Amino acid sequence: MSDNLLNKLTQLKLPAMAGSLIRQRETPQTYDELSFEERLTLLVDDELLSREKQSCGTVEKKCLPEISGNTGRAALSGLKRSAG
């Protein structure tokens, strides 16, 4: 396998798949007994998982309200008053 393949995966915006392929190259004994389809499935699964993690992180950032220091303190003092 050549680095040309890694470059193409990067061009296609498949960085997790490229990373997974590098790991497979570094430890071939782990993957020797797997069929082509099984190895390809691992590569695709890694890419999909990476994208899902990124998507969750993006949604989380959009959903969490930004609280400034003053707002946070005011909210806390309001809670103290209602509890007190």
Q: What local confidence, expressed as pLDDT, does residue 55 receive?
A: 83
Residue 62 pLDDT more than 80? no
Tell me what percent of the residues of the chain surpass a pLDDT of 70.
Answer: 70
Return d(Cα 39, Cα 24) in angstroms, integer: 9
- Encoded tokens for 29: 């004994």
Q: What local confidence, expressed as pLDDT, does residue 81 receive?
A: 62
Average pLDDT for 38-66:
85
Average pLDDT for 67-74:
53
CB 16 within 8 A of CB 46: yes
14-34 pLDDT per residue, tens: 999 999 999 999 999 999 999
Query: What are phi and psi for residue 33, nearest 5 degrees?
Result: -85, -5
Q: What local confidence, expressed as pLDDT, does residue 29 receive?
A: 93
pTM of the predicted model as reported, rounded to 2 decimal places: 0.64
47, exposed or middle or buried, with CB in 10 Å at 0-12, 13-18, 19+?
A: buried
- Encoded tokens for 42: 């691992």
